[in-house]
Amino acid sequence: MANLQDDIAGSVVPARARTSEISKASPYANDQGTVKVMQEPLSQEASDVGRDASSKQELKRTLSARHLVLISLGGVIGPGLLVGSGTALSEAGPVGAILAYLVVGSVTWATMMSVGELATALPASQSHLVDFASRFLDPAAGFVLGFLYWTLWCLVLANELVAVGILFAFWEGARVVPQGAWIAIFLVFFLCISLLGVATWGELEFWLASIKILFLIVFFIISIVINTGGTGQGYIGFRYFRNPGSFTDFPGFVSVLTLVATQFAGTEITATCAAEARRPERAVPRAVTSVMWRILVFYVGTAFFIGLNVPSNDDRLANASSKAAASPLTIAMQRGGIEAAASAINAIIIVSIVSAGNSSLYVASRTLAAMARERLLPAFLGWTTKKTQVPVPALLVSAALSLISLLSVSSGSSTTFTRIYSISGISILLVWALIAASHIRMRSAMKAQGRNVSELRFKAPLWPVGAWYALIMNSFLALIQGYGAFAPSFDIINFVVFYIMLPVSIVLYTGFKIVFQTRIPRTSEIDLDTGSQLTHNLDGDSEDHATGLVRQADDSDSESRPPVDARTDGKSRSNISLPRDSDRASSPLRRFVRSISKVLA
């Protein structure tokens, strides 16, 4: 612990320092009030060593704008929406469910606008969410955010591994394979995809997201046909809005708010992907602005169409024999006379699980690596492979934690699935609250330091109302997360499951501050320069302040160009030609999907 403390106190601050001293106000200042850094100029040999060390922890920028847009639109559409929307319908009624998606969707949108401004203002940063909290709030807050975000995605991965065994059991022939075997098979599959590099991961996510989006569009069309009596079952219209009714009760609506919030988890994944995206200052705004379409079309649209064709008191919503049978999409089609729908939807849910599990391991490993780069964890966790720039140690540690899914083999898969899902719920809300707080602090720092807001390439709409709305609402939703533990009677086990991450966060924050003596910096002291668009020529190349490298942007599908030493290259940065802003397409189908994504973006 002492070594780690020294590493933090001695490494984080010099990496951000722009002068030979850090003032007494530094969170890591010593008893004399200053921390000396870089007293002597670096020799060429030392510079080369620094570049080599830095390259071991840098991520490869190979994701393009089309990847980020499709991933933000459909990357995290999973069992939460395809199955959980049925719970929302039964608990709140059709109109109550739609309102819940709209309310939480507005919070999600406001949070994503904060993410967009932060990630665009700091495009050269490779730590992102962790970096935002560490820089603008406190290193202890960055540590807590990183821990919550990492455990969240490890738990989501474990959740998907449990669910995949349940879903395969839907087919009689697959029941001979034990639950533990399905967990092992898919965990190895996710590991293999991640080890191949972010280019392979991004391409797979692009196509899986496309499949899910296409499926939902087809479902919407079929729902219209069913509702208008096109399948021979008679005209339905808004019958189920009148009987059994549009709403159930207010407690049901409140419980659905927290349920829906967990379904939106992953929307902020764009910030994590930006660390490995080409031209993030352009790709990130396109991705975050597409969130509005995702909320209105896919989430609110799904709630609307299932509310039209499935009554909220249908027993199958809560008592089905499998997740496929419990999906309101399956029930809607079966009520419309399409009996074979269950098997097809089961397959689609498995596709969504593969996508969600794949994304979960990616985000978890990158979060752990980001914490290592911020010196919040041992440096070895940030080590990346030379060719594909994959953080292998972080990947393996994240995969190891997901093995808690094996508890389902002995304790019952349904119980494990529910408990893991509940634990992860409060984590995403706390993370979103910290993101909004980071955004507020960044704007305050810009004002205190005389920075012009007009210099920002992407400015969050409705500032400052949007950021404060995101902070307050996420905090409120986190506090009522465990509402189900109090009604109809108090349940101590559910109470612990719902709220365990709240005291854990407080303990981690307090412990980190005590051990490492950090404090919240004044707005006039916050670093707005390192990795910032304000000090980078983002129309061309961006300079890495820690290594003195100029990294040439490349928006083609080829691998990134090697770095050029800014201190020895005599070329003017303005003379470096800019890459094309388009992505090459290799097939008519790919061009078609790209055109759809551009329209949505």
Entry pTM: 0.77
Sorting pLDDT into bands at 50, 70 and 90, what band is 581? very low
324 and 411 belong to one structural domain: yes
pLDDT greater at residue 564 or residue 591:
591
User: Looking at the predicted structure, is the pLDDT value of residue 313 above 60?
Assistant: yes
Domain annotation covers residue 570: no
Q: Which of 481, 516, 551 is the last residue of a domain?
A: 516
For residues 30 and 149, state if they share a domain. no
**Of 486, 516, 546, which marks where a domain is finished?**
516
Mean pLDDT, the chain, whole residue set: 76
Point out the domain boundary residue: 482, 516, 550: 516
Look at residue 10 and tell me whether its pLDDT is greater than 50: no
Same domain, 61 and 104: yes
Residue 403 confidence (pLDDT): 86
Determine, yes or no, domain membership for 212.
yes
Determine the structural domain holding residue 341 and report its residue range: 55-516
Judge whether 587 lies within some domain: no
Among 120-124, 344-348, 415-419, the range scoring the smallest mean pLDDT is 415-419
Domain co-membership, 129 together with 165: yes
Q: Which residue in the block uniquely carries the two structure tokens 């930006």?
A: 274
pLDDT given at position 413: 55
Q: In this predicted model, what pLDDT tens digit does every residue of 95-110 receive, in sequence order?
A: 999 999 999 999 999 9
Does one domain contain both 125 and 221?
A: yes
- Please check whether residues 129 and 177 belong to one and the same domain: yes
pLDDT (0 to 100) of residue 447 = 93
Residues 160 and 353 sit within 8 Å (Cβ to Cβ): yes
Question: Does pLDDT of 245 surpass 50?
Answer: yes
85, 112, 110: which is closest to 100 by C-alpha? 85
Same domain, 124 and 244: yes
Average pLDDT over residues 124-146: 85
Nearest alpha carbon to residue 419 among 407, 410, 433, 403: 407
Q: Does residue 159 contact residue 187 with C-beta atoms inside 8 Å?
A: no
Confirm whether 536 is domain-assigned.
no
Q: For the domain that residue 361 is a member of, what is the CATH number?
A: 1.20.1740.10
The tens digit of pLDDT for each residue in 445-504 reads 999 999 988 888 889 999 999 999 999 999 999 998 887 778 777 888 888 888 889 999
Q: How far apart are the C-alpha atoms of 117 and 122, rounded to whole Å? A: 9
For residue 36, pLDDT beyond 60: no
Residue 302 sits in the same domain as residue 171: yes
- Can you give the pLDDT at residue 62? 64
Least confident of 131-140, 496-505, 523-532, 565-574: 565-574
Give strand ranges (E) for 81-128.
Answer: none
Residue 25 shares a structural domain with residue 131? no
Cα–Cα distances in Å, from 386 out to 52, 202, 391, 473, 556?
10, 19, 10, 43, 21
The reply to whether 496 falls in a domain is: yes
Q: Which stretch, 75-79, 137-141, 373-377, has highest mean pLDDT?
A: 137-141
- Are residue 429 and residue 480 in the same domain, yes or no? yes
Q: Is residue 574 part of a domain?
A: no
Question: Residues 140-177: pLDDT tens digits?
Answer: 999 999 999 999 999 888 888 888 887 888 788 888 88
Is 120 a member of any domain?
Answer: yes
Of 252 and 6, the structure prediction assigns the larger pLDDT to 252
- Rounded to whole angstroms, the Cα distance separating 373 from 65 reads 25
Q: What is the pLDDT of residue 20?
A: 33
Q: How many Cα neighbours within 13 Å face the side chain of 555?
A: 19
| Same domain flag for 132 and 234 | yes
6 and 104: one domain?
Answer: no
Q: How many domains does the chain have?
A: 2
Is residue 538 included in any domain, yes or no?
A: no
